[in-house]
Amino acid sequence: MLEENFGIVWIMIKKDLAIKLLSISLLFFGNFVSAERFQDDPIKKLNSPITELGFIRENIISDDGVMINYYIKGTEKKALVFVHGYSCSSEYWWPQLEYFSKNHTVIAVDIAGHGKSGVNRQEYSMDAFGNDVTSVIEHLDLEEVVLIGHSMGGPVVVKAANNLGVKTRLIVGVDTFHDLSTEGIGGFARTAVNTMFKLFYESMTEDSIDDFFIDKTDEDLARWIRNDALKSPKHISQGTLDALLTMNYPESLRELSIPIVALNARTFRETKLDSNMNTYKNLQIEFMEDVGHFIMLERPVEFNNWLETKISN
């Protein structure tokens, strides 16, 4: 059941599971660069400020007093809004920000505790992350948006779409929405996984990172992602994990009729096509072969072409 309820959690706990469960038992009961050229030297680009692409860095203050960092390029009131995943930041959209900002107003948001946003959130939840994105869009007085989320950014943009109503034209998922029938977990299971994470933070984080990649993933890119993930403060990772644990897709999707399209990798996690379609009818999921979890960084040219087609339609 755990694997059905959140993307990375089962991967994080499956290695050395017997040892971890035993411990739990004891505890409880006793400059311009194209996407094509991005692949030539990805790490140099990822280590470059997004402002070098002509983006302006700005921020707002969330309802709970957290500074939310975002980047914007363009002045149109119709925009593409990119939202990163767990332990990531806006930098993970580097090749997309460069490519799509040529013809669109483009925004990338660092949700609380990530990237250059504040780290003082007291209670992390998917609703709060969704509000971070909503607040940026409302602050900019945008009229129409396409919400694009990678991994955990998928449920984040669903929450934002709940708030935005008719402003959202399309939701795009990138290796996410693997099982939209999940209602989140609670009680003992939630407490157990949270406790495992506290006890085995380093090993669970490293285990989860290992499953992000395939043999063909560029070694330098994998190393950059790994090192970046390990920098995330423990309390933020813990709060973000709990937000993932408790995400209730059917409830969040009930009031939506917005088209959702997704491009998933075959390797990271099984996508439950039948249960997804039963849960949300206005859904289209496609797959990319021979790619790891970070599709937009590993295959930026193909991904950008795919996304261009979806937003054009």
CATH assignment of the domain containing 244: 3.40.50.1820
Residue 188 is predicted with a pLDDT of 85
The tally of CA atoms less than 13 A away on the side-chain side of residue 180 is 28
Enter the tokens of residue 198.
Answer: 């506290």
Enter the tokens of residue 268.
Answer: 């990271």
Residue 30 is predicted with a pLDDT of 39
Residue 197 is predicted with a pLDDT of 77
Alpha helices in 117-218 (DSSP H): 126-139, 153-164, 187-199, 201-210
pLDDT tens for 150-184 read 999 999 999 999 999 999 999 999 999 999 999 99
| Cβ–Cβ under 8 Å, residues 166 and 266 | no
pLDDT tens for 16-40 read 554 444 443 434 343 444 565 676 6
Amino acid identity of residue 222, one-letter, is A
3-state secondary structure of 70: strand
pLDDT at residue 291 greater than cutoff 70: yes
pLDDT tens for 212-260 read 999 999 999 999 999 999 888 889 999 999 999 999 999 999 999 999 9
Q: How confident is the model at residue 42 (pLDDT cuts 50, 70, 90)?
A: confident
Q: Output the furthest CA–CA distance in the chain (Å, rounded).
A: 61
The Cα 264–Cα 256 span in angstroms is 21
Enter the tokens of residue 236.
Answer: 């933020």
Which of 208 and 184 is assigned the larger pLDDT? 184
Q: Which of 53-57, 144-148, 241-245 has the lowest mean pLDDT?
A: 241-245
Amino acid identity of residue 248, one-letter, is N
Torsion on CA atoms 290, 152, 184, 147, rounded to nearest 10: -110
DSSP β-ladder status, 78-83 and 260-265:
unpaired
The tally of CA atoms less than 13 A away on the side-chain side of residue 255 is 13
Q: Which of 117-121, 160-164, 232-236, 305-309 has the lowest mean pLDDT?
A: 232-236
| Cβ–Cβ under 8 Å, residues 256 and 167 | no
Residue whose C-alpha is closest to residue 263's, from 243, 235, 293: 293
Residue 34 is predicted with a pLDDT of 57
Tell me the whole-structure pTM to 2 decimals: 0.88
pLDDT at residue 148 greater than cutoff 70: yes
| Cβ–Cβ under 8 Å, residues 136 and 224 | no
Residue 21 is predicted with a pLDDT of 44
The domain total for the chain is 1
pLDDT tens for 69-114 read 999 999 999 999 999 999 999 999 999 999 999 999 999 999 999 9
Q: Which of 54-63, 148-157, 190-199, 216-225 has the lowest mean pLDDT?
A: 190-199
How do the residues of the chain divide into helix, strand and coil, expressed in percent and rounded to 5? Answer: 50, 15, 35
Measured CA angle at 101 (ends 298, 36), to 5 deg? 35
- H helix or E strand, kind and range, residue 84: none
Which residue segment(s) compose the domain that 286 sits in?
Answer: 2-312
DSSP class of 64: T
pLDDT tens for 2-18 read 444 444 444 444 545 54
**Which stretches of the chain are assigned E, i.e. beta strand?**
56-61, 67-73, 78-83, 105-109, 144-150, 168-174, 260-265, 283-288
